[in-house]
Amino acid sequence: MDPYKTLGVSKTSTDEEIKKAYRKLTKKYHPDLNAGSKEAEKNFKEVGQAFELIGNKEAREKHEQASDFNSSSQQPRGTSERPFYYETQGQQGRYNNIFEGNYEDIFSSMFRGGQKQAASSDNHYTMEISIEEALEGSTKEIILPNGKQLSVKIPKGITQGTKLRFKGHGEKGHKSTGDAYVEIHFKSSKRFKLEGLDLVSELPISLDEAINGGKIEFITIDGPIILTVKPPVSSGTKLKIKGKGLGTGQSRGDQYVLINIMLPKHIDPQLSHFIKQWSKEHPYNPRAEVR
Amino acid sequence: MSQYAIGEIVKIYKLEEDFIHICIQNQWIIPLKNEVLDQEDLARLLLIKDLQYAMGVNDEAIPVIMHLLDQIYWLKNKLNS
């Protein structure tokens, strides 16, 4: 194999030119872009091997030396046998199966009339996950009633009510086996308490922030925002961040932030003295409204 | 289905261990067992490597491409079934 010819470059081409030619041909011949084409696969492998031989100065020098000595002595070390992604993405492909349930309704409405109803041997389950798990994605193992273990992969950003389908994990019928559906429900966590579509989270603030206000970073389910705390603010005050709850569009809930003033663990004598003095000069009754 | 320890993959396919761990951390691949990849994970990993190193795709575009690709395979399977 003449790697220069394979990549369509000359012996005087620079590393950058060779890399450019390699990338261009990889895109052209990659088997995942030419699924099932044996010729593309062959070309792709040759391009990879050629780049391995002349992809950088060091490799090129070695190749030249080997060529001077014996034109057939140098073979690329690259792995010619490898699985391609398209080969694994049949009906049993785990990664494409995460869309089961999400688009099921859309899909059946596209082809309504031609399809029979799902087999009656499908099993339906619900799974509760925290909002953090929904935001970050996770994998959970569940035990089905038949004793089989099922690994449920929760994709990042999954929404409440999504049904994940697991083909062939339902009840065995006469001719076929049904599917298992796992419907995702959210549950409260330490960080996010669920109140319908609204979320409530506690925000600890310092004495200084309570008295003088401040701009504090707060993580919503859409990501971090800067929350302006206007002074004075007391523990128990609820701030509302509109449209950062669960749901979508106009029906989307809100995020509530519950202020909690945290004093330092050790009170400095200077602060204690100052507060005592200040309280004598500015008396007020925080329980006046409770009576 | 064949299963491979990460160390085996590093050796056979000359991949960097850090690259594999980044793919797992980013959930670009989600192995069923800790530190063990099956044939599907491996094929996905090698495709991600091709996208990054051989085609120059950046980190931000990888999950987008893989997500679209998975949707295409799902739809293709639906049409075939």
| Cβ distance of B42 and A83 shorter than 8 Å | yes
Instruction: Identify which of A256, A239, A117, A116 has the alpha carbon closest to the alpha carbon of residue A200.
Output: A256
In whole angstroms, give the CA distance from residue A11 to residue A5. Answer: 10
Residue A286 lies in a domain: no
Burial of A105 from C-beta contacts in 10 A (0-12 / 13-18 / 19+): exposed
Looking at the complex, report in whole angstroms how far the Cα of residue B61 sits from the nearest Cα belonging to chain A.
15
- Say yes or no for a CB contact (<8 Å) between B74 and A30: no
Question: CB–CB of A88 and B27 under 8 A?
Answer: no
Give me the phi and psi of A154, to 5 degrees please: -100, 110
Residue A105's domain comprises 96-113+121-187
CATH number at residue B11: 1.10.1660
Answer yes or no: do A200 and A171 share one domain: no
Domains contained in chain A, number = 3
Q: What percent of chain A has pLDDT over 70?
A: 86
Strands A214-220 and A223-229: antiparallel
Segment A149-156 mean pLDDT:
86
Residue A151 and residue A138: Cα distance in Å, rounded? 10
| B25: contact with A, CB 8 A cutoff | no
Q: What does the pLDDT average to over A207-225?
A: 93
> Which CA distances in Å does B44 have to A153, A167, A178, B30, B34?
16, 21, 28, 10, 16
Looking at every residue in chain A, the average pLDDT score rounds to: 83
| Interstrand relation of B3-5 and A255-261 (parallel, antiparallel or unpaired) | unpaired
* Identity at A262, one-letter amino acid code: M
Residue B26 structure tokens? 């980013």
Nearest CA in chain A to B1: A88
Give the number of other CB atoms < 10 A from CB of residue A227.
Answer: 17
The domain in which residue B43 lies consists of 3-80
Mean pLDDT, rounded, for B19-48: 90
Integer Cα distance of B1 and A93 in angstroms? 12
In angstroms, what is the C-alpha Rg of chain A?
A: 32
H or E segment to which residue A132 belongs: helix A131-136
Q: Among A187, A220, A240, which residue terminates a domain?
A: A187
Q: What is the pLDDT of residue A93?
A: 81
What percent of chain A is modeled with pLDDT above 90? Answer: 37
A114 pLDDT higher than 60? no
- Rounded distance, CA A94 to CA A12, Å? 46
Q: What's the Cα-to-Cα distance from A93 to each of A81, A85, A237, A280, B26, rounded to whole Å?
A: 20, 10, 50, 73, 20
Reply yes or no on whether the pLDDT at A119 is more than 50: no
pLDDT in tens, A240-278: 999 998 877 777 889 999 999 999 999 999 999 999 999
**Which of A95, A111, A150, A156 should be substituted to probe chain B, the one whose Cβ sees the most B Cβ atoms within 10 Å?**
A95
| E strand or H helix that includes residue A226 | strand A223-229
B73 vs A86: CB contact, 8 Å cut-off?
Answer: yes
Give me the residues paired with residue A228 across strands: A215
Q: What is the CATH number of the domain that holds A82?
A: 1.10.287.110
- Structure confidence at residue A6 (pLDDT): 93
**Residue B63 in this model has a pLDDT that exceeds 80:** yes
Q: How many Cβ atoms are within 10 Å of A200's Cβ, its own excluded?
A: 16
Q: How confident is the model at residue A291 (pLDDT cuts 50, 70, 90)?
A: low
Q: What share of chain B is helix, strand, coil (3-state, %, to 5)?
A: 65, 10, 25
Question: What's the confidence (pLDDT) of residue A70?
Answer: 57
Rounded to 5°, angle at Cα B36 from A181 and B29:
60
Residues A167-207 have pLDDT tens digits of 888 877 777 778 888 888 888 888 999 888 889 999 999 99
Domain with residue A179: its CATH number is 2.60.260.20
Q: Does A104 touch chain B (CB under 8 A)?
A: no
With a cut of 60, say whether residue A74 has pLDDT above it: no
Residues A171 and A108 reside in one and the same domain: yes
- Tell me which of A187, A216, A243 is where a domain ends: A187
Q: Can you tell me the mean pLDDT for A68-82?
A: 56
Q: What is the ipTM of this complex?
A: 0.92
Sorting pLDDT into bands at 50, 70 and 90, what band is A115? very low
Nearest to B27 among A27, A100, A156 (CB): A156
Given a cut of 80, whether residue A66 has pLDDT beyond it is: no
Residue A97 above 50 pLDDT? Answer: yes
Scored b (16 or more CB within 10 A) or e, A12-49 reads ebeeeebbebbbebbeebbbbebbeeeebbebbbbbbb
Q: Amino acid letter at A234?
A: S
Distance between CA A54 and CA A43 in Å, rounded?
16
Max mean pLDDT range (A33-42, A226-235, B32-41): A226-235
Q: Is residue A287 part of a domain?
A: no
Residue A288 resides in a domain: no
Residue B1, pLDDT above cutoff 80 = no
Is residue A49 within 8 Å of residue A43, measured between CB atoms? no
Read off the tokens for B7.
């160390």
Shared-domain flag, residues A34 and A83: yes
